[in-house]
Amino acid sequence: MKLATQDKPFFPESLKEKLEYIKSIGFEGFEIDGKLLLERFDEVQRASEATGVPIIAACGGYEGWIGDFDEAKRKNGLSEIKDILRKLGKLGGQGIVVPAAWGMFSKRLPPMVPPRSDEEDRRILIESLSQLNEVAIETGTYVYLEPLNRYEDHMINTLEVASSLIEEGNFSNVKIIADFYHMNIEEPIIAESLKREKKYLGHVHIADSHRYQPGHGHLDFISGFSALQEIGYNGYMTFECRVLGEDERKLYTQSIRYIKECIEKSRAK
Ligand code: LER
Ligand code: MN
């Protein structure tokens, strides 16, 4: 398993320095914001080549969700995601992380009842994923479908629901991204869920139980990583967290060390 990171406010601004910095603190890949990839593609490509740090995936940076209630926004989102996939393909990147929607509706917060039925949600998601699956095939990339916790999305909260959509659409280039923060809220036992849904697992996000740097909260990473070892997962795990504390650079570096120790311990288990 390899470690990657998303961008952080305390990383250098220039892309080359950013990638050099993340390499120096122990990461092997960068998960880029989709907008940054589209707007500064040449610079991203040059920086990746010069530093040898791969752009492994994209996350966010497009307007409109694949399950958007607003049809015009959904279409816009799909068009931007396709552009991001085309650029990622040129860089040899693996794929883009997409939730059904993020922050659009929660069935656990008022008004509790969404404006669309569950059946219609599924129909729309399948339609969006069919379009993206085609472009992912053309570009040699993947769409990483991300279950979010119940407060951030109402359509896909568990790995099981994500798997069922992939099965239903028979999508060759849609996989699941398992995010430890969301799994900590939605999966009864993270290790068991990972083992059960291994067939479609393609990518992983890590943060601790409170969405801050791993090692600072109470999540049991070792049992989750042992499950990943057991199912033969050898992809990337991307840090997707905020950093709590004053010296963010120091704390982030300590967190990488902590996660590497957890990986070692999970191998020994
Ligand atoms: C949001 O909580 C999240 O996990 C991101 O990866 C958005 O897709
Ligand atoms: Mn995530």
Instruction: Specify whether the CB–CB gap between 177 and 202 falls below 8 A.
Output: yes
Q: List, for residues 84-127, the tens digit of each pLDDT value.
A: 999 999 999 999 999 999 999 999 999 999 999 999 999 999 99
- At 228 the pLDDT is 98
How far, in Å, from the CA of 268 to the mean position of ligand 1? 30
**CA proximity to 67, closest of 134, 3, 147:** 147
- CA pair distance 155, 102, nearest whole angstrom: 10
Whether residue 268 is predicted with pLDDT greater than 90 in this model: the reply is: no
Average pLDDT over residues 60-83: 98
**CA proximity to 137, closest of 169, 110, 171, 113:** 171
Whether residue 34 is predicted with pLDDT greater than 80 in this model: the reply is: yes
Indicate whether residue 203 lines ligand 1 (CB < 6 A). Answer: no
Average pLDDT over residues 184-212: 98
Q: List, for residues 154-165, the tens digit of each pLDDT value.
A: 999 999 999 999
How far, in Å, from the CA of 223 to the mean position of ligand 1? 22
**CA proximity to 202, closest of 233, 232, 230:** 233
Kindly report the protein residue whose alpha carbon is nearest to atom 3 of ligand 1: 148
Active site residue 240: yes
Q: What is the mean pLDDT of the chain?
A: 98
Ligand nearest to the CA of 99: 1
Instruction: Specify whether the CB–CB gap between 207 and 3 falls below 8 A.
Output: no
Average pLDDT over residues 132-147: 98
Instruction: Specify whether the CB–CB gap between 259 and 214 falls below 8 A.
Output: yes
Q: What stretches of 60-187 adopt beta strand conformation (E)?
A: 95-99, 142-146, 174-179
Active site residue 146: yes
